[in-house]
Each structure stands twice: as structure tokens, then as C-alpha cells.
Copies of this chain bind each other. A is one copy, B any other.
Amino acid sequence: MKTTVFDGKSFSGAIDRETAAIVQRFISIKGKKPKLLIVDPTQSEETKIYGRSKIKKADKLGIETFPLFLNPTGQNENPMEILENIITEVNPDGIIVERPYPFWLDSLYLEQIIPEYLDIEGISIKSQGKNMIGYPYLIPATAEAVMLIMLSLGEDHHRNVCIINRSTIVGRPLAMALLSKDYTVTVCHSKTRNLKEITRSSDIIVSAIGKANYFDASFISEGAVLIDVGTTESNGKIVGDFDMESVSGKASFITPVPGGVGPVTTSVLFSNMMKAAMDRIEERLNF
């Protein structure tokens, strides 16, 4: 079987063109560029790389970025107060807080200081709750990216999807969104006992476990659709959860790593940001 390899660059390019047009409309109405606040609480190498790619794309789209490095070194520093002040000062149109969160970052406090319409990552309790009850507005960008890719494959949604990830930014919101589209959904995780049995009986497998080349052809059925959300460095190369070489010829479709879900996720983030910003301007939504 011929395995179609997803082209994340061209897919995300289409989203970006639309976002860039909306940015221009925003600028023509407000007379200034939309502002994105990128909070980096860890300053790890990983978040720096992700941060840079976001800044680069924002530049291209016409969005102004404000990086904020929150990395408390002394006991007197209050990072939450700093964040609160900078939100007031910058008055951004969207906020991203890079993960993983360090221990001192209280996500429930974050919840209180980031309003829903600035939560372009779709991680707030209200955003998640709306997705849960079938009225999604902003959902976590990775989950939405996977959704968009799956929906682009055609109208047959009555299929079985297995998601290997139960996090609040991938597995859980994706499961809720897919149920609204008539997919039958199984959520697996590290404690799942018969993983191979489940993946082999699934039409679509979404993996976000971050283990290099973990799933070989023995895990999938002939013609499976594979969506790879894993990103791991292996021998100096960035690779996904699926063993590309092994599954090629057996899967019908696969998203590569890099160049698959990743770029779409970043594009969705900015498209979410501009959707929320325009809805605010045009008072289309009661947040």
C-alpha cells in the first residue's frame, strides 16, 4: 500500500495566509499590530527553540511579540506579580505560557490572571469546559491541529480513533472534539495493558508519547492513518513516535516528524489568536 506522507508545511501555509489577511484587517481597524505575549517560565533549551519558531512566524504574519522570561532566582521575586503587571502594561491580544510549567507556577492562579479571550492556547477551565459540553471555542492548539488534519482526510468520521496520550492539552480535549464529530474514541496511556491490541484494531492512531520510533508496523493494521504528535531527539535527529521506515507501505497516511503536526499547531495558535481578537473587536462573542 502506498503511504501518503502529510505535508505540514503546505497545510500550515494555507492557514497562515488566512491569518495574515485577518492581521491586516485588525491593523486597519485598530491602527496597530496585534500583540502576543510569550511567557517562558523555564528558559530551557527546548522552550527557547519553540519560542524562536513562534517569534519567527509571528513576525511573518505581522504580529508583534513580547517575550517575558520568568525565572525566579531569589526568594524576593514574585513571578506571578511580574506576569500580572506585564499583562496590564503590554495589553496583549494573546498569551502563551510555554511548558513544562515549573513547580512554582500555579496553574489555578494563572487561570485567574489570564482572561479567556487571551487564552489562545485554549487551556483555561472555561475553554476546556466549552469543548467538553460540545460548544468548543478555543481548544488546545495541538488537539485542534490534529482535528484539522483528520477532517481534511474526508467525510468518513465513523471510524475508530485511538489516542495514546491523556494530557489536558492533547488527549483529553482531542477526545472530546472527536466525539462531537462522530468518531469512536479510545484514550490510552502509560497504564494501558493491551495497547497493541487496541492500536491494531483502530482505523486512526494519534500518538503523543514522545518515545523515538516506538511504534513499528506490528502495532498497526493495514491502511491505518497515523498522526504523530511525538517529538524526540534521537542520534542528533528529531523523530516521532512512529517508526517511519517500518510503517511505510502498511499505513495509508502518516504525518512526519518534523514537518507534520508541529507547524500546523503553531499556525493554529495564531489563527486562534486572531479569531479571538476579531471576535472581541466585532463583539461576536460573549466570553
A260: Cβ under 8 A from any B Cβ: no
Quick check: is A194 within 8 A (CB to CB) of the other chain? yes
**Is A191 at the interface (CB under 8 A from chain B)?**
yes
Please tell me how many copies of the chain the complex holds: 2
Q: Are B187 and A197 in contact (CB under 8 A)?
A: no
In the bound complex, residues from chain B placing their C-beta under 8 Å from that of A186 are 184-187
Are the C-beta atoms of A191 and B158 separated by less than 8 Å? yes
> Is there an interface contact between B129 and A172, defined as CB atoms closer than 8 Å?
no
Closest to A125 in B: B129
Cα(A40)–Cα(B176), bound, Å: 29
Chain A 238-269 near chain B by CB (<8 Å), digits 1 or 0: 00000000000000000000000000000000
Q: Does A24 contact B (CB under 8 A)?
A: no
Q: Cβ of A55: which chain B residues have Cβ within 8 Å of it? A: none
A33: Cβ under 8 A from any B Cβ: no
Q: Are A176 and B184 in contact (CB under 8 A)?
A: no
Please tell me which one of the listed residues B126, B158, B182, B192 contacts residue A129 in the complex, with CB atoms under 8 A apart: B126
For A186, give the chain B residue with the smallest CB separation: B186
- Establish whether residues A168 and B134, one from each chain, have CB atoms under 8 Å apart when the complex forms: yes
Chain B residue, CB-CB nearest to A198: B184
- Chain B residues closer than 8 Å to A191, beta-carbon distance: 157-158, 182, 184
Q: Is the CB of B130 within 8 A of A125?
A: yes
Is A213 positioned at the interface, with any CB of B under 8 Å from its CB?
A: no
Q: From residue 135 to 181 of chain A, which have CB atoms closer than 8 A to chain B?
A: 135, 157-160, 166, 168, 171-173, 175-176, 179
A2 at the interface (CB under 8 A from B): no
Chain B residue nearest to A195 in the complex (CB)? B184
Does A114 sit within 8 A of B, measured CB to CB?
no
B166 close to A179 (CB less than 8 A) = yes
Instruction: Produce 1/0 per residue, A98-131, CB < 8 A to B.
Output: 0000000000100000000000000111111111
Find the residue from A126, A131, A179, A184 having the highest chain B CB count within 10 A.
A184
A29 at the interface (CB under 8 A from B): no
A188 proximal to B (CB < 8 A): yes
Contacting pair B188 A184 (CB below 8 A): yes
- Contact partner of A173 (CB less than 8 A), chosen from B132, B157, B175, B185, is B132
Which 10 interchain pairs have the tightest Cβ spacing?
Answer: A129-B129, A125-B129, A186-B186, A128-B132, A128-B129, A184-B192, A182-B191, A133-B168, A166-B179, A132-B132
Given contacts A128-B129, A131-B132, A186-B187, 16 further A-B contacts (CB under 8 A): A108-B135, A124-B129, A125-B129, A125-B130, A125-B132, A125-B133, A126-B129, A128-B133, A158-B191, A158-B193, A160-B193, A172-B176, A184-B188, A184-B192, A184-B193, A197-B201
